[in-house]
């Protein structure tokens, strides 16, 4: 699987987690939804960094 595709999938998951967090606002599930969203954001950041590294390695 390509780095671009993995980043796209991570972004899709982050969007899903954002919606889940919004739906959980004001409920007992809010803290867990926030934790999952934070993890999703970190995953996207890691995928972005990986893609940048791959692109630099290919073009240098």
Q: Give the model's pLDDT for residue 4.
A: 94
Q: Give the model's pLDDT for residue 1.
A: 74
Per-residue pLDDT of 4-50, as tens digits, reads 999 999 999 999 999 999 999 999 999 999 999 999 999 999 999 99
Query: What are the extents of the domains in the chain?
Result: 3-59
Burial of 9 (0-12, 13-18, 19+ CB in 10 A): middle
Q: With CA atoms as reference, report the closest residue to 9 among 40, 55, 49, 53.
A: 40
7 touches 40 (CB < 8 A): no
Higher-pLDDT residue of 1 and 17 is: 17
Task: Give the predicted TM-score (pTM) of the model.
Answer: 0.87
Rounded Cα distance, 13 and 6, in Å = 11
Q: Give the model's pLDDT for residue 60.
A: 60
């Amino acid at each position: 699987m390509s780095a671009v595709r993995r980043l796209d999938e991570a972004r899709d998951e982050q969007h899903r987690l954002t919606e889940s967090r919004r739906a959980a606002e004001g409920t007992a599930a809010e803290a867990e939804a926030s934790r999952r969203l934070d993890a999703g954001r970190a995953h996207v950041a890691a995928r972005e960094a990986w893609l940048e590294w791959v692109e630099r390695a290919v073009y240098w």
